[in-house]
Amino acid sequence: MRRIKLTIEFDGTHFAGLQTQAQGERTVQGELEAALAQIPGALPKIVACGRTDTGVHALAMPVHYDTQDPIPAAKIPFALNGLLPPDLRALSAEEVDPGFHARKSCFWREYRYRILQRTFPPALERNRVWWIPQALNLVPMRHALEDLVGLHDFGAFAIKEERSTLREVYRAHLEVRPTDSGREIWMEFIGSGFVRGQVRSMVGTLVEVGLGKRDSSSIAALLHSGNRSQAGPTAPPQGLYFVRAGYEPYGKH
């Protein structure tokens, strides 16, 4: 038996998230395990680096599974892509140490959130961005972003209670990208990990800062309070992308 680290890309629009939950819902895990079940020797059971909710996308999500199949690792994506649906793709595969664990061995994760600013809702990017027609003031948003960096209790941004909500954000960055019809604001977050709903709650809160509904200096107090009801709304899922993950301490890649 050998362990394979597989990196996948998916369009989250028509998935009820990554992880298999209730019966009958279409999930990334369900589709990937159905494909693995067609490869003799592969155990149709995957472990993913992160969870993603319904509608959230992934550019390069690592997962692992065990197999006795004789396929050379570099050929696995070709085999899998012939079995996977078009909104889920294998990008690379490598054989790893049997102790490797896609979630537990991971040192850092990178997420991106895309906001589209223009007058009218987008037809082409409707499942890819959060459309916000109101002007956003980026200066206080950048200040607020800085206060999210570091080791904090992110309980105020958690969707539901978890054993520990202590996480470290290594980098939080905002950039503006011109588009054909307006501009996009990309927020990028790199951290040791993120509690459930953290990125979308942080983005919802930052948008309130950008709209002038919340002071940029309120983030520190919000983190300190640990009170979810004081954070902003959860940003919609279609603007969120799991970008990639690292298996060495952050900064060493």
By the criterion CB under 8 A, which residues form the site for a second copy?
9-11, 57, 59-60, 77, 81, 86-91, 119-124, 126, 128, 180-181, 243
Structure token pair of residue 211? 């709209």
- Smallest separation (angstroms) from a second copy to the CB of 112: 9
Give whichever of 226 and 236 is closer to a second copy, judged by the CB atom. Answer: 236
Q: How far is the CB of 180 from a second copy (least distance, A)?
A: 5
Q: In this structure, are residues 121 and 182 in contact, taking their beta carbons and an 8 Å threshold?
A: no
Question: Has 53 been annotated as catalytic?
Answer: yes
Shortest spacing between CB 56 and a second copy, in angstroms: 12
Phi, psi of 9 (to 5 degrees): -120, 140
Residue identified by tokens 């599974």 is: 65
Ligand-binding annotation for 250, yes or no, is no
The neighbouring-strand residues paired with 94 are 5
Nearer to a second copy, 130 or 157 (CB): 130
CA distance 26 to 23: 9
66: exposed, middle or buried (Cβ count in 10 Å: 0-12, 13-18, 19+): middle
For the bound state, the minimum distance from the C-beta of residue 127 to a second copy, rounded and expressed in Å, comes to 9
116 φ/ψ angles, rounded to the nearest 5 degrees: -105, 125
71 close to 79: Cβ distance less than 8 angstroms: yes
Closer CB to a second copy, 16 or 88, in the complex: 88
CA distances for 14 relative to 10, 28, 153, 208, angstroms: 10, 10, 33, 29
Judged by CB, which is closer to a second copy: 128, or 200? 128
Q: Which of 53, 69, 97, 180 is catalytic?
A: 53
**Known binding-site positions:** 111
Binding-site positions for substrate: 111
- Active site positions, annotated: 53
